Structures are given as structure tokens and as C-alpha cells.
Amino acid sequence: MSFQRIKCPTLVIDDNSTDRMIMVAALDTLGFKNILEAEDGSIALGKLENAFDTLNPVQLIFLDWRMPKRDGAAVLQELKRSRKFKSVKVIMTTNVSDENSVKSALKDGVDDYIVKPVTLDLLRKKIENLGF
């Protein structure tokens, strides 16, 4: 199945350039057409604002947990506090796999959680589960 209808911006936030490249390639394989990237939370929030202001808002974010400057938890809190962004779907993609961290992220508002490395089949399933 291809997600040809996902033409709105999708944002991949990860400080690791290799992980971003892998995620972007996987999303491209699945048919995503407008993939934005950010290497930290501050840059990501700027890209979210810009996409919103150009009337082409991001609807799906892949968010790393541990990043310098502004980590995934801080970005998530900001998204959930914002009227503009609280409906954006967020999938946490991280190496953090302990049960308490997963529960904490879900409690804080992520829509789903993927432990790296991300496989294409798992990614497809998680996206479909969110209704895309």
C-alpha cells in the first residue's frame, strides 16, 4: 500500500542525520511527498510555524526523544499546549525502550511509539493505525 494521499508536510525530527535519512527514505518509499526535516526541537518548531503560516500544515511528526537544545519531550509539551498544533499526530521514534519511558511518552500525548531501528512494515502499520 502506498500513502499517495499524504501530500501535506510530514516532519521528521531527529538530531542523528543517518536516522533522519533512513526515516525520510522509508517515508518516500511509502509514498509520502512532502517530507520536512529538523535536527532539533527549536528548528522543528520553526518549520511547523512556517508550514502553518503557508496554509500547508504538518499533520504527522516523527519525533526523536533525546536531542540537544530542545528534546522530544519539550517539543511534545509545546505541541500539546498550542491550539495550532495539538491535533498534529506524533509518533515517537527513539532508542529509548524501557517501559517507563514508553508509558511516560504516551501519557504526555504521543500518538504512538517506535523503538529504533524502524522497519518499513512497522512504520506502515503505525501510520495506518493513525488513520492515514
Percent of the chain with pLDDT strictly greater than 70: 95
pLDDT of amino acid 8: 73
pLDDT of 3 higher than 80: no
pLDDT of amino acid 101: 85
Tens-place pLDDT, residues 76-120: 999 999 999 988 999 999 888 888 888 888 888 999 999 999 999
Residue 75 and residue 44 in contact, taking contact as beta carbons nearer than 8 Å? yes
| 128: confidence class by pLDDT, cuts 50, 70, 90 | very high
Q: Where are the domains of the chain?
A: 10-129
Considering the domain 10-129, what is its CATH architecture? 3-Layer(aba) Sandwich (3.40)
Strand order in the sheet with 60-63: 35-38, 10-13, 60-63, 89-94, 112-115
